[in-house]
Amino acid sequence: MLASRTAAVAFTSFAGALLVGCNQQAPTSAAKMFLKSVGPADIQAGKTFNVQPDGSSAIWLNTQGIPKTAVPVLAGVELSGVNVRENGTLVTALVPEKLIAEPGSFPIFLLDKPSGKKSNEITFVVK
């Protein structure tokens, strides 16, 4: 009985040592999609901004942990012309004219369609 108890204690100690490393691992920051800010900050209703070669307006999003498959969703509209750059820390996208035609505050977040994960939501302001 003493030998089996000693073996059990030794095994428990060994298994516990293996699990300690697992318990101490924190998820990486890339595991969570985070939207820090959106710009430019001074958008005027009805006026183009960050004008692209085709005449459309473009926004940038300061982000963290954004996968290449994510798209910005502004006021319920998935934006096009999306480019996720710099290891998921910068996202650019085109903004349809109808979304900047009138002043207002609109929710924006990032959606990774394959996984269904969403970032936090912030407000995009059109003055």
pLDDT tens track for 10-50: 444 434 443 344 333 333 334 599 999 999 999 999 999 99
**Which pLDDT does position 115 carry in this prediction?**
94
DSSP one-letter string for 44-85: PTT---S--TTS-EEEEEEEES--TTEEEEETTEE-EEEEEE
For the chain, what is the domain count? 1
Question: What CATH number does the domain containing 115 carry?
Answer: 2.60.40.10
Q: pLDDT, tens digit, for every residue of 71-123? A: 999 999 999 999 999 999 999 999 999 999 999 999 999 999 999 999 999 99
Domain extent at residue 39: 29-126
8 lies in a domain?
A: no
Q: Is residue 86 part of a domain?
A: yes
Residue 22 falls within a domain, yes or no? no
- Domain membership flag for residue 118: yes
5 within some domain: no
SS3 70: strand
Entry pTM: 0.74
Is 4 among the domain residues? no
